[in-house]
């Protein structure tokens, strides 16, 4: 029976269930990655399991998100992570060594293995032929403890690549095209598997751009075959021994096939405020630009930064454009420093950030009010840049570079210069000195706990009856950035009570006070959402903080995968409306009762995701707190508490 590449790798790792799309399966995890913003919680959870040493082949703890140290909190977290890594057998990649996905691809990813990461862009590893999946910190902590990772056995969608990219069109345009086709919702439970003659025209870093941003479609992951391009990349990383050839059988069957002719693609952009809003750059050209940010785990490889450096050589950043650059890794920065490209970039007037997530997560370089900001990153959700009024456009490094010199959105095909050719170097500079291996004497390691490290809050058992109030009703496509912002708030990740104060602040600053009052009155908080609730990141704080505030149920039209798992892990029941029109019948402030909830979950036969998807929970409204007229009157009231009390 011919097999897809996904099936081959998953079957080799299967420890529970049968490989059959839609089934719940458990897989063995070979490698894990954590980053600091999700990693402190994951490490606290791992510590609580009382295990001496991680049980994976390889676990790495990266510091890349909270590297701006204003106040003691982030530095305390870094030190905590370093001591945990030393004690429990984890490699520790220090702040400044680079973004977890970029560094993992360069130094650790191995074709044919499984990687679980507490970050939604873990699928970057699919560029090297890994089944690389993003998850919440608790799931990653369990994988570090040797437990299987449970997931819905995915439907495999083949993306058949033909042709070859034209000059000035690059991998970012490929994934933007795919986002334009598949959108950001409705793809839960699928994997994109790349195939076809176009695959061999793409290098590993280009493939990694595509698999990285596949996360925005909501798929479980994306994967490329492992071929001569993969071998070349691994050889240049002095890791050829990690290579193996991997491909789907030529007659494998897929749940769907999508043809993409690379030769037909043109420069594209994702327009505000979703990576799924796709336009051609041509349609946007002429728009004045205030800021251009190059970097992030999507587009900060050697290839991408060399492209920008070569396009800009001898030119200056436009006076109205603030040009920011964050190299993906120390390796990339070393390469640029030694081959002279860094000097070329400095001459343009670039503002250099350290090798880290930087601007991408809004903890630095927030643009001016109403700015147009062009970024090579993967998410342009409302307010994620740190400036709510800013309009962020996601583009390729080529399109970014064009705007840096012209000060306007410019189709890079109009630049009057030959297209720079950037090959994968024969040898990358290998210097792993910022990766600290675990201690040989773990018993001697004392875990450092600064005042910022709190115990993860615990939950009460799920009651038989949920009797609660709809504290907030939100629309479709609510991302975890809406639920709990990152940016300048992220330093409270290890302090759940404090971080919870920022829940939903992008949408409704009254949420926290309402939720606190309802919780303290002994009632449960209920969130009502639309389609694709919980898009975006893997941050479990989008469940952990609501749990702390007494949220017991999220009722939505549909949920995204990682967020569903996080809700369940923290004892919040995700319930899908059986009939989507019921969404319109519920208002903020309504009281709802869900009787026998535990029984209903058991009837779902323990299939945690199918429970919510089946919508098998019957909801009865016991009474509406106000009638519709009162609600309308109330909407004129500016009291942030929304009249509850």
Write out the residues near ligand SF4 by the rule CB under 6 A.
Answer: 65, 99, 119, 121, 296-297, 357, 360-361, 377-378
Closest CA relative to residue 19, chosen from 7, 5, 31, 1: 7
Compare residues 45 and 120 and give the one whose CB is closer to ligand MIC. Answer: 120
Compare residues 394 and 403 and give the one whose CB is closer to ligand SF4. Answer: 394
Compare residues 473 and 491 and give the one whose CB is closer to ligand MIC. Answer: 491
Compare residues 377 and 399 and give the one whose CB is closer to ligand MIC. Answer: 377
Compare residues 527 and 544 and give the one whose CB is closer to ligand MIC. Answer: 544
| CA distance linking residue 151 with residue 133, whole number of Å | 10
Which of these segments, 114-122, 195-203, 263-271, 608-616, binds ligand MIC (CB under 6 A)? 114-122
Minimum CB distance to ligand SF4, residue 638 (Å): 34
Minimum CB distance to ligand MIC, residue 113 (Å): 21
Which of these segments, 83-91, 113-121, 279-287, 368-376, binds ligand MIC (CB under 6 A)? 113-121
Query: CB–CB of 87/439 below 8 Å?
Result: yes
Q: Total binding residues for ligand MIC by CB under 6 A?
A: 13
Compare residues 220 and 380 and give the one whose CB is closer to ligand SF4. Answer: 380
Minimum CB distance to ligand SF4, residue 124 (Å): 8
The residues in 547-576 that bind ligand MIC, with binding defined as CB under 6 A, are none
Residue 99 interacts with which of ligand SF4, ligand MIC, none, CB < 5 to 8 Å by class: ligand SF4
| CA distance linking residue 126 with residue 365, whole number of Å | 30
Minimum CB distance to ligand MIC, residue 340 (Å): 32
Residue 385 interacts with which of ligand MIC, ligand SF4, none, CB < 5 to 8 Å by class: none
Strand order in the sheet with 591-594: 573-576, 551-556, 524-529, 466-473, 591-594, 620-623
Per-residue binding string, ligand MIC, 130-169, x by CB under 6 A, is ----x-----------------------------------
SS3 content of the chain, % helix, strand, coil (to 5): 35, 20, 45
The residues in 511-540 that bind ligand MIC, with binding defined as CB under 6 A, are 536-539
Strand order in the sheet with 435-436: 131-134, 114-117, 31-35, 58-62, 91-93, 435-436
Among 9, 10, 33, 37, binds ligand MIC (CB under 6 A): 37
Minimum CB distance to ligand SF4, residue 360 (Å): 3
Tokens of 621: 């409204």
Per-residue binding string, ligand MIC, 42-71, x by CB under 6 A, is -----------------------x------
DSSP labels for 412-469?
GGGSSSPPPP-PPPSS-----TTEEPPPS-GGGPPPP--TT--PPPP-PPPPSSEEEE
The residues in 405-434 that bind ligand MIC, with binding defined as CB under 6 A, are none
Compare residues 174 and 326 and give the one whose CB is closer to ligand SF4. Answer: 326
Closest CA relative to residue 535, chosen from 113, 168, 222, 215: 215
Compare residues 99 and 179 and give the one whose CB is closer to ligand SF4. Answer: 99
| CA distance linking residue 125 with residue 191, whole number of Å | 13
Contacts 24+ apart (CB under 8 A), 234-243: 234/128, 235/426, 236/424, 236/425, 236/426, 236/427, 236/428, 237/106, 237/107, 237/428, 237/430, 238/427, 238/428, 238/430, 239/107, 242/110, 242/111, 243/111
Angle 190-38-60 from CA coordinates, rounded to 5°: 85
Other CB atoms within 10 A of residue 281 CB: 28
Distances (CA, A) of 110 to 145, 241, 242: 21, 10, 6
* DSSP 8-state symbol, 132: E
Compare residues 37 and 404 and give the one whose CB is closer to ligand SF4. Answer: 37
Minimum CB distance to ligand MIC, residue 362 (Å): 9
Residue 363 interacts with which of ligand SF4, ligand MIC, none, CB < 5 to 8 Å by class: none
| CA distance linking residue 570 with residue 589, whole number of Å | 24
Sequence-ordered list of residues with C-beta below 8 angstroms from that of 580, at least 6 positions apart, any chain: 531, 557
Is 213 an interacting residue with respect to ligand MIC (CB under 6 A)? Answer: no
Is 121 an interacting residue with respect to ligand MIC (CB under 6 A)? Answer: yes
Residue 301 interacts with which of ligand MIC, ligand SF4, none, CB < 5 to 8 Å by class: none
Sequence-ordered list of residues with C-beta below 8 angstroms from that of 640, at least 6 positions apart, any chain: 508, 509, 510, 513
Compare residues 118 and 588 and give the one whose CB is closer to ligand MIC. Answer: 118
Sequence-ordered list of residues with C-beta below 8 angstroms from that of 96, at least 6 positions apart, any chain: 67, 330, 354, 355, 356, 434
Compare residues 377 and 569 and give the one whose CB is closer to ligand SF4. Answer: 377
Per-residue binding string, ligand MIC, 356-385, x by CB under 6 A, is -----x------------------------
Angle 278-392-334 from CA coordinates, rounded to 5°: 105
Residue 539 interacts with which of ligand SF4, ligand MIC, none, CB < 5 to 8 Å by class: ligand MIC
Compare residues 37 and 144 and give the one whose CB is closer to ligand MIC. Answer: 37
Footprint on this chain of ligand MIC (rule: CB under 6 A): 37-38, 65, 119-121, 134, 361, 486, 536-539
């Amino acid at each position: 029976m011919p097999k897809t590449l996904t099936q081959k790798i998953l079957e080799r790792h299967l420890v529970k269930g049968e490989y059959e799309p839609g089934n719940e399966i458990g897989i063995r995890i070979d490698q894990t990655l954590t980053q600091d913003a999700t990693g402190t919680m994951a490490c606290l959870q791992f510590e609580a399991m009382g295990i001496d040493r991680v049980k994976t082949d390889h676990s790495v703890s990266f510091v890349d998100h909270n590297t701006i140290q204003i106040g003691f909190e982030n530095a305390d977290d870094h030190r905590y992570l370093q001591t945990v890594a030393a004690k429990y057998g984890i490699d520790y990649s220090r702040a400044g060594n680079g973004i977890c996905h970029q560094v993992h691809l360069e130094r650790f990813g191995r074709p044919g293995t499984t990687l679980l990461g507490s970050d939604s862009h873990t699928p970057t590893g699919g560029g090297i032929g890994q089944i690389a999946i993003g998850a919440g910190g608790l799931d990653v902590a369990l994988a570090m403890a040797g437990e299987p990772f449970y997931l819905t056995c995915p439907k495999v969608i083949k993306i058949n690549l033909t042709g070859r990219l034209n000059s000035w069109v690059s991998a970012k345009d490929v994934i933007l095209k795919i986002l334009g086709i598949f959108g950001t919702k409705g793809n839960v439970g699928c994997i994109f598997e790349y195939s076809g003659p176009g695959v061999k025209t793409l290098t590993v870093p280009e493939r990694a751009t595509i698999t990285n941003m596949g996360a925005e479609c909501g798929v479980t992951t994306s994967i490329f075959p492992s071929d001569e391009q993969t071998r070349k990349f691994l050889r240049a990383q002095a890791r050829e021994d990690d290579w193996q050839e991997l491909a789907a059988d030529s007659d494998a069957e897929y749940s769907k096939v999508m043809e993409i002719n690379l030769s037909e693609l043109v420069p594209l952009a994702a327009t505000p405020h979703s990576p799924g809003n796709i336009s051609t750059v041509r349609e946007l050209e002429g728009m004045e630009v205030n800021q251009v940010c190059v970097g992030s785990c999507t587009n900060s490889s050697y290839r991408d930064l060399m492209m920008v450096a070569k396009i800009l050589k001898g030119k200056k950043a436009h006076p109205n454009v603030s040009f920011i650059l964050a190299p993906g890794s120390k390796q990339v920065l070393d390469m640029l420093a030694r081959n002279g490209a860094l000097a070329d970039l400095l001459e343009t007037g670039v503002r250099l950030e350290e090798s880290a997530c930087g601007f991408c997560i809004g903890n630095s370089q927030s643009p001016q009010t109403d700015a147009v900001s062009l970024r090579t990153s993967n998410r342009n959700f409302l307010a994620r840049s740190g400036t709510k009024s800013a309009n962020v456009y996601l583009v390729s490094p080529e399109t970014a570079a064009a705007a840096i010199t012209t000060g306007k959105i410019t189709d890079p095909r109009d630049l009057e210069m030959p297209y720079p050719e950037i090959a994968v170097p024969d040898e990358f500079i290998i210097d792993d000195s910022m990766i600290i291996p675990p201690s040989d004497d773990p018993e001697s390691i004392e875990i450092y706990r600064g005042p910022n490290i709190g115990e993860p809050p615990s939950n009460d058992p799920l009651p038989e009856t949920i009797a609660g109030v709809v504290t907030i009703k939100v629309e479709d496509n609510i991302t975890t950035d809406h639920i709990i912002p990152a940016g300048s708030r992220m330093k409270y990740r290890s302090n759940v009570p404090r971080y919870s104060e920022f829940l939903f602040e992008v949408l409704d600053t009254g949420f926290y006070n309402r939720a606190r009052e309802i919780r303290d009155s002994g009632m449960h908080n209920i969130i009502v959402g639309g389609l694709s609730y919980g898009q975006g990141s893997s941050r479990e704080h989008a469940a952990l903080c609501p749990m702390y505030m007494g949220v017991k149920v999220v009722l939505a039209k549909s949920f995204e995968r990682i967020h569903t798992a996080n809700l369940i892990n923290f004892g919040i029941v995700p319930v899908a409306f059986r009939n989507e029109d019921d969404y319109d019948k519920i208002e903020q402030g309504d009281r709802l009762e869900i009787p026998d909830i535990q029984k209903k979950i058991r009837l779902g036969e323990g299939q945690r995701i199918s429970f919510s998807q089946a919508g098998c929970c019957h909801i009865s409204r016991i009474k509406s707190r106000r009638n519709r007229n009162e609600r309308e009157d109330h909407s004129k009231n500016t009291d942030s508490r929304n009249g509850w009390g």
